[in-house]
Amino acid sequence: MTSCPPKLHSLADLRELQRSMATALMSPLTRDDALRASFKDSAQALIQPRAKLDSFDRLEIYARQYWFRLLDCLYDDYPGLRALLGERRFHQLSRAYLAAHPSESWTMRNLGRHLEAFIREQPKLTGTKQRIAIDVARFEWAQVLAFDEAALKPLNIDKLLGSDPATFTLKLQPHVSLLALDHAIDDWFIAVRNTEHVSRSETSNARIESRALTKTKRVPLPKLQKLWLVVHRSGTDIYFKRLDREAWLLLHSLSEGKTLLTAIESALADATFDRDWSAQVREWFQSWAALGWFTH
């Protein structure tokens, strides 16, 4: 590691100073939430000591502030994962995740973007609950999207019905997520939510102290069950909607840019003949269009 220049002559020097400080702030704290002793030299090269606090102590304030602020954000955005793993384990997962994936966005809203992938890559961190944790992380990220992604101009149902299915394609609204899950996460999440107040975090310019661990009431683990789910927004509220497997497959194909005809054919490839599928498909489209899920 190059040390910080004692005098700043150029933009490159400023960058070096900032890189040096950011490296200290973003590297994991010790178990006691202290800055690692290996940053003593960096601190001395950067920061003026004063009577009350030396260089290291001052750098440590910023390091702690960095970690507590980002941990708080995950804490607020992942109440389900927190309930599933317990406070302590969730905290460990969050620290490991942030060490591997520092924020790469001006908004903390995107902080959990890689969490599902990280849980897959690091099975030890969630142990026997890994499969459920993956489902919960996906479900909660979908809620982040449903909260404030765009609702574009919805597609008119008449336009859809009057189209040529062999060529017609459409898009799903950015706030709509399609999730194929292996556990009944929706019911479980509602039970968890009822045990504590849940709200999305928002940016403020003062976030200083570590949050005390709180006890959450245990909710039984979610049942093993194949779930075809849509997470979306209606008005300003977030909703979860269970679909039939065929309906979900149809939407999924459409979201991948398949034509209406191809999407319907592939969704119904394994369908049984005991239902009037054409009436069913029409009914689906009517309800989805009414929810405003389609756009151009």
Partner 1 sequence: MHNTSFPNLGVGIGLRVPHYRHILEKKPVCDWFEIISENFMVDGGRPLAVLDQILEQYRVVQHGVSMYFGNADPINREHLKKLKRLVKRTNTPWLSDHLCWGSVNGRYSHDLLPIPYTMSVAKHTAQKIRQAQDFLEVPICVENVSSYAEFKQNEMTEWEFLSEVVERADCGILLDVNNIYVSSQNHDFDPFDYLRAVPHHRVGQIHIAGHRRYDDIILDTHDHPVPDPEWALYAEAIQHCGHVSTLLEWDDRIPSFDEVHNEALKANQFIHDHDLVPA
Taking the CB of residue 161, how many other CB atoms lie within 10 A of it? Answer: 12
Continuous H helices in 149-230: 157-161, 185-193
Q: Is 166 one of the binding residues for partner 1 (CB under 8 A)? A: no
Give the nearest distance from C-beta 4 to partner 1 in angstroms: 8
Q: Is 15 one of the binding residues for partner 1 (CB under 8 A)? A: yes
CA separation for the pair 71, 228 (Å, rounded) = 31
Contact with partner 1 (CB under 8 A) among 40, 45, 193, 265: 45
Contact with partner 1 (CB under 8 A) among 91, 175, 183, 232: 175
- By CB under 8 A, what part of segment 202-241 binds partner 1? 202-209, 233, 235-236
Q: Is 70 one of the binding residues for partner 1 (CB under 8 A)? A: yes
Choices 85-93, 155-163, 200-208, 274-282 (CB under 8 A): range interacting with partner 1? 200-208
Q: Is 99 one of the binding residues for partner 1 (CB under 8 A)? A: no
Contact with partner 1 (CB under 8 A) among 29, 35, 39, 66: 66
Q: Is 252 one of the binding residues for partner 1 (CB under 8 A)? A: no
Q: Is 272 one of the binding residues for partner 1 (CB under 8 A)? A: no
The residue type of 69 is R
Q: How far is CA 127 from each of CA 46, 201, 218, 230, 268, rounded to the nearest angstrom?
A: 41, 28, 18, 27, 37
Q: Is 2 one of the binding residues for partner 1 (CB under 8 A)? A: no
Give the nearest distance from C-beta 3 to partner 1 in angstroms: 12
Short-list 274, 224, 269, 261, CA closest to 245 = 269
Q: Is 153 one of the binding residues for partner 1 (CB under 8 A)? A: no
Give the nearest distance from C-beta 102 to partner 1 in angstroms: 5
Tokens of 292: 């405003």
Tokens of 34: 């202290």
Q: Is 115 one of the binding residues for partner 1 (CB under 8 A)? A: no
Q: Is 165 one of the binding residues for partner 1 (CB under 8 A)? A: no
Give the nearest distance from C-beta 14 to partner 1 in angstroms: 4
Contact with partner 1 (CB under 8 A) among 52, 88, 153, 197: 52
Phi, psi (deg, nearest 5) at residue 228: -110, 105
Q: Is 105 one of the binding residues for partner 1 (CB under 8 A)? A: yes
Q: What is the dihedral of CA 174, 190, 84, 237, to 10 degrees?
A: 30
Which residues lie across from 50 on neighbouring strands?
53
Q: Is 51 one of the binding residues for partner 1 (CB under 8 A)? A: yes
CB-based contacts of 122-131 (< 8 A; 24+ apart in sequence): 122/96, 125/89, 125/92, 125/93, 125/96, 126/85, 126/89, 126/93, 129/84, 129/85, 129/221, 131/182, 131/183
Give the nearest distance from C-beta 254 to partner 1 in angstroms: 21
Contact with partner 1 (CB under 8 A) among 27, 40, 41, 57: 57
Question: Could you say which DSSP state residue 256 is in?
Answer: T
C-alpha dihedral sign at 82, 140, 98, 62: negative
Which stretches of the chain bind partner 1, using CB under 8 A?
4-12, 14-15, 17-19, 21-22, 25-26, 45-48, 50-53, 55, 57-59, 61-62, 65-66, 69-70, 102-109, 146-151, 174-175, 199, 202-209, 233, 235-236
